Amino acid sequence: MPELPRLTEATLPEGPFELFAAWLGDAEASGMTDPNAMTLATAGADGRPSARTLLLRGVGDDGFRFFTNRTSLKGRQLGENPRAQLLFFWGEIGRQILIHGSVDQLSDEESDAYFDSRARESQISAWASEQGSVIESRDALLARVKEAEQRFDGEDVPRPPHWGGYIVRPEAIEFWQAGEFRLHDRFVYRRSDGGQWVTERLSP
């Protein structure tokens, strides 16, 4: 693991997005596989938690974007309880980030734009797979793929109505950096009532 600069009150930027971008850049530069991979944790109305790994597909001052099948378990849970937590864990460089906030669906226009940028094979898969539902065999899945290929042969593949994007609007973002003897550095940015970011150091 590379030697890291200390994470201190004096080195923290005013807001969390600058630090997030720097840390994501460090993860990308490390050569690790899928540095934009994140764990998304959700819970439905029954309180049942679930988590899965997917890819960050955009970040801005308004939040963190991802795309998925909205009829999947995560889509159904977000429909019932539009809150989530994201976890980025970069063990190779001794860092992790936790993001907690509310979740909104992205507009059709933004979902269409991202879907149009995907490989055709991935677009076909979005039509063929009823994500998370029981299927009798892989052959049945491949038959659905073939049917979708034939349906859209020679034309652009449109975005399925059940597929689209979400944005996690952060209320708290925690940065964790490994230290010797488990004396890690942890800082959390929280939204104040006035919408400003305030920071606190947390015990490791």
Active site positions, annotated: 182
Residue for token pair 């909104």 = 104
159, 103 Cβ separation under 8 angstroms: no
Q: Using CA of residue 88, residue 47, residue 169, residue 78, what is the dihedral sign?
A: positive
97, 23 Cβ separation under 8 angstroms: yes
Nearest to 63, CA basis, from 191, 154, 193: 191
DSSP class of residue 63 equals E
Give the 3-state secondary structure of residue 75: helix
DSSP class of residue 48 equals -
CA distances to 68, 89, 128, 189 from 160, rounded to whole Å, are 11, 31, 10, 37
Triad 11, 96, 69: Cα angle to 5°: 130
Residue type at 21?
A
